[in-house]
């Protein structure tokens, strides 16, 4: 099987944005391209909110651009060893994934303390995770951080918030029809149909009974002896109709 050639970051970037202007891009996924440092992504991406650079081969974040609207950054599975101070130019950053990198000391994380909105940090499979009491030390260096590796300081899991685009819609058949502004269950709807059928049958029976009575009246009727001319007219009309 032929191996696919790895695309350099700058070329992959061009393929992703196509004809868009940098200022129009809000989401950017460059996973699997290749670069040892940031290439092509500049401060022109002023509205970029989510950036993913998983398994790119980055060794440093030096030269990472100022991205004022960036809230989520995934840098997992890169051999990054330094340059975290560059992320201070991304003041709205909330979620940062550095798992699988080569960071060795908790002190290397100190530049992140200036990120007032940073609430979730992933450091799984980093060398730093082998440090004794590493969780306690990280929370000490980053006092505003709420979650480390998916857990808060008490060991409670970070809640998972679904993206709007991933919302699951229930099948239409599960949604009961509405009557008079309220939902009606399928069983109730079937009962209503049965009631309507019974009413129709009753109306039919009444009509037949009425027809029988008219026929009886017609048999009893003797021309010239009717006490009501209206009845005579009605009976004659009914007879002609049938």
Choose between 23 and 3: higher pLDDT.
23
**pLDDT computed for residue 48 by the predictor:** 99
116/25 Cα distance (integer angstroms)? 24
135 within 8 A of 113, measured Cβ to Cβ: no
CA-based nearest residue to 121, from 103, 184, 31 = 103
- How big is the chain, counted in residues? 242
Q: Domain containing 121 — which CATH number?
A: 3.80.10.10
Tell me: pLDDT of 3 over 50.
no
The answer, yes or no, to whether residue 18 has pLDDT greater than 90, is yes
Confidence of residue 141 (pLDDT cuts 50, 70, 90): very high
- Residue listed under structure tokens 């269950």: 185
Q: Which residues, 6 or more positions from 168, have their beta carbon under 8 angstroms from its beta carbon?
A: none
CA dihedral (14, 18, 19, 21) in degrees, to 10, reads -60
- Alpha-carbon distance 95 to 114, whole Å? 14
Quickly tell me which residue has 């002609």 as its tokens. Answer: 240
DSSP letter at 117 equals T
Are 133 and 15 in a shared domain? yes
Residues 16, 108, single domain; the answer is yes
pLDDT score of 125: 94
39 and 69 within one domain = yes
Report whether pLDDT(190) > 60: no
Say yes or no: 199 and 228 in one domain: yes
What's the pLDDT tens digit per position in 200-242?
Answer: 555 554 544 555 554 554 455 455 444 455 555 555 555 555 5
What's the confidence (pLDDT) of residue 87? Answer: 98
Statement: residue 175 has pLDDT above 50: no
* Confidence at residue 228, expressed as pLDDT on a 0 to 100 scale: 53
pLDDT at 189: 53
Does residue 162 fall inside a structural domain? no
Taking the C-alpha atoms of residue 76 and residue 205, their distance in angstroms, rounded to an integer, is: 79
pLDDT at residue number 151: 96
**Does the residue 215 lie in any domain?**
yes
**Number of folded domains in the chain?**
2
Residue range of the domain that includes 52: 9-156
Q: Is the pTM of this model over 0.75?
A: no
Final residue of a structural domain among 121, 156, 191: 156
Closest Cα partner for 36 from 63, 15, 17? 63
**Greater model confidence, 194 or 171:** 194
C-alpha span between 164 and 137 (Å, rounded): 35
């Amino acid at each position: 099987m032929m191996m696919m050639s790895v695309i350099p970051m700058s070329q992959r970037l061009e393929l992703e944005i196509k004809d868009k202007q940098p200022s129009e891009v809000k989401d950017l996924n460059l996973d699997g391209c290749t670069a040892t440092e940031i290439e092509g992504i500049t401060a022109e991406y002023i509205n970029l909110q989510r950036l993913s650079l998983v398994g790119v081969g980055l060794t440093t974040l030096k030269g990472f651009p100022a991205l004022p609207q960036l809230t989520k950054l995934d840098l997992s599975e890169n051999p990054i060893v330094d340059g975290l101070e560059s992320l201070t130019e991304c003041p709205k950053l909330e979620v940062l994934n550095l798992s699988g990198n080569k960071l060795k000391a908790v002190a290397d994380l100190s530049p992140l303390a200036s990120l007032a909105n940073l609430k979730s940090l992933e450091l799984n499979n980093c060398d730093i995770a082998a440090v004794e009491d590493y969780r306690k030390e990280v929370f000490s260096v980053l006092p505003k951080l709420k979650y480390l590796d998916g857990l808060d300081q008490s060991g409670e899991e970070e809640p998972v918030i679904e993206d709007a685009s991933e919302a699951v819609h229930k099948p239409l058949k599960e949604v009961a029809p509405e009557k008079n502004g309220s939902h009606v269950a399928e069983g109730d709807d079937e009962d209503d149909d049965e009631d309507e059928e019974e009413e129709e049958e009753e109306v039919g029976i009444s009509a037949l009974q009425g027809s029988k009575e008219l026929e009886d009246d017609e048999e009893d009727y003797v021309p010239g002896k009717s006490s009501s001319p209206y009845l005579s007219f009605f009976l004659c009309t009914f007879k002609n109709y049938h």
